[in-house]
Homo-oligomer: A and B are copies of this chain.
Amino acid sequence: MLYIPLLRQTMFSKTCEYAIRAMIFIARKTKEGQRAGIKEIAKGIDSPEHFIAKILQELGRKGLVQSMKGPNGGFYLDKTSMERSLADVVRTIDGDKVLRGCGLGLRYCSETHPCPIHHEFKKIRGQLMKMLENAKVGTFTASLEKSKVFLKRS
């Protein structure tokens, strides 16, 4: 008698949540002049090691993160990557449905053919998008150092 999604619907997929956390973690390390190894990242953001590895591979292919193999290798961000926004990360992993899609999942919902909540929902999406566009991964490093802001569960 299990009918209903059982309660893990979040704004972003778990994959995407890990991706954002990892990007911020790597940004911090990069600013400290270090590269971040996968094990370190996994511990630092409380994620399964092999899962975040796979996610980072994808982010690497898409050019959002840089890496080097071998001893003292690891992940880091170049100048361009440091300027990426969280919106870029979200779009890379989850696509743009959260940022652009109809709230009721209707494919042909539009200005001229709106679903019942179209106009109200559009405002929210817009604000979410704006917030994510303005949030550059490189800008979270300061707060990580000087405040209580955190990336893991405890």
| A→B interface (CB under 8 Å) | 3-18, 20-21, 24, 46, 54-55, 57-58, 86, 93-95, 97-98, 101, 103-109, 112-118, 120-121, 123-124, 127-128, 131, 135, 140, 143-144, 148-154
Contacts and interface: CB of A to CB of B under 8 A. Distances in A.
Identical copies in the complex: 2
Interface residues of A, dominant DSSP:
loop
Contacts of A11: 11, 98, 101, 103
Contacts of A3: 54-55, 57-58
Nearest to A18: B105
Contacts of A97: 7-10
Contacts of A101: 10-11
5 contacts: A3-B55, A10-B97, A14-B105, A18-B105, A112-B148
A93 B5 contact: yes
A19 to B, nearest CB: 9
Given A11-B103, A128-B124, A151 B115 contact: yes
Contacts of A108: 153-154
Given A104-B20, A115-B149, A9 B7 contact: no
